[in-house]
Structure 1
């Protein structure tokens, strides 16, 4: 697949795999609102070139976020279409923060091996799965409710994996959502008490195997923090070696 087409499909899969509770498409920019829970679901992605004046457009976006009681946050990707940094500088936005790398791999052949079957997978998040993720991430009641609502808003096929400890406790979770033949993996989290035992790897492998065998996916993608060497090492070992794009955030101050 040509690189620009792959990048577009991966971007679509990432947006579909972590939806917002409310979205507005504004002259090629996608504005997402989700009660302030997670920046990806509460930020602006630049999907197509603007036809309007950028400075005025940024001001209108700020007004929309202010109506929701939220700061305006831009998710600036290397796939972005408009030069907004100068405008954001003038309006006092903070510097770029928390750069993430979006990685891709083909799903042929299957991974399998010793990780196959180590994690259970369901095509909907159980209450136990949602509670485990909230516990691992340390979410309060409001964030937990927003998290649950985002998962309920996923409109594409999705698989939810849990790797269990020897005593049956959920040690690690992950989920993947499939759009246009690409599964986007998110929410990979391991209970600190069970780290370095292969549970996260087992959960991701379960998602990849499910996506390939059940959901018909031919590729997989995931975002990972650029400076998270441990996570990037895990994903590289699982075949995620193609960098599709990068993004970072700029926040209204």
Structure 2
């Protein structure tokens, strides 16, 4: 008796079974299939383990893998490596990023670590860095952190007070590496069709350098009726899979295509050592937020941009 049934499909399980020679071993993961002859368990690295029921010694459903606490500073740096800016420089350990003005992340100061100088002096140097490049000085900060308060004391303010905060969500890979409902093509380089689906309108000139700049990136797409209708980008940094640029054409939304893109990228990353995943979503993007939370993503942190420029 396996102790499981088809009703347990999609849940984490542990299965103890006999190998040839009567040796016992365990396999742990998500139950993907179950029939009268065998069951299939999907490991966190996307490997499938098929076990004949007659070989099962014991099996049971187990609770979902708990999300380990996030080292927020480390994840901030991980996200920066996952989508590097065109140009970078350092103020001590603080990271200056510039990419011609395309996206806040790629054109902002990331004040993580020690600037190795008084904060006021570091901010003056950061201001000069951005003004020399014709960019508004921006700093990516955690909204209620002591550092953000120090920035405000030195005259910095919310750069985009009318906009909702971006949220960084995280999860374990085994919650998102199920088999997609659509065929997902994952390639090392994006083509013109990928970019056409990823952007509404013209592709910003700086976008290819930013999107393709990570050491290990992948570009996922779903094609229906000869047209690319959904895309996404993944980047590996250590054991983290970062996912961004997820977009579904308006004519094809509400068909779980974004879910398929995420699953396709997770299945690409698992065999390469990914164990956790992060992504970003703006807090008021409720459809995307619902998709991600349904897949097991939870809040790691939120951030906000500060500037020292006067309001327009």
Q: Distance in 2 between matches of 1:190 and 1:51?
A: 44
SS state of the match for residue 154, structure 2?
helix
* Residues 16-95 of structure 1: pairs in structure 2 closer than 5 A: 16-77=81-142, 82=147, 83-89=150-156, 94=159
Q: How does 1:97-176 map to 2 (within 5 A)?
A: 97-108=163-174, 111-113=177-179, 115-134=180-199, 137-139=200-202, 143=204, 145-155=205-215, 157-165=216-224, 167-176=225-234
Stretches of 4+ aligned residues off by more than 3 angstroms: 78-81, 92-98
The CA distance in 2 between the partners of 1:54 and 1:183, in whole Å, is 32
Q: Deviations over 1:52-99 (max 9, x none)?
A: 22223222211111110111111112696733122134xx66465441
What is the TM-score of this pair, normalised by structure 1? 0.85
CA distance in 1, matches of 2:160, 2:182: 44
Asked whether 1:246 is paired with 2:295, we answer no
User: How far 1:220 sits from its partner (Å)?
Assistant: 0.4
- TM-score normalised per structure 2: 0.70
In structure 1, stretches of 5+ residues that fail to align are none
Q: Sort the Cα spacing of 1:109 and 1:222 in 2 relative to 1 into closer, same or farther, 3 A.
A: closer
The verdict on how the C-alpha distance between 1:154 and 1:62 changes in structure 2, with shifts beyond 3 A counting, is: same
Q: Helix, strand or coil: the match of 2:155? A: helix
Query: Paired residue for 1:210, among 268, 277, 282?
Result: 268
**How many residues matched?**
240
* 1:163 to partner: Cα distance: 1.4
Structure in which a larger fraction of residues adopt helix: 1
> What does residue 223 of structure 1 align with?
280
Report the RMSD for the aligned CA atoms in angstroms. 2.3
1:127 shift after superposition: 2.8
Secondary structure of the residue aligned to 1:189 is: strand
1:250, distance to aligned residue in structure 2 (A)? 1.8
Which structure 2 residue ranges, 5 or more long, are not aligned? 1-66
Larger RCO (CA under 8 A, 6+ residues apart): 1
Kindly indicate whether the alpha-carbon contact (under 8 Å) linking 2:182 and 2:257 is maintained by their aligned counterparts in 1.
no
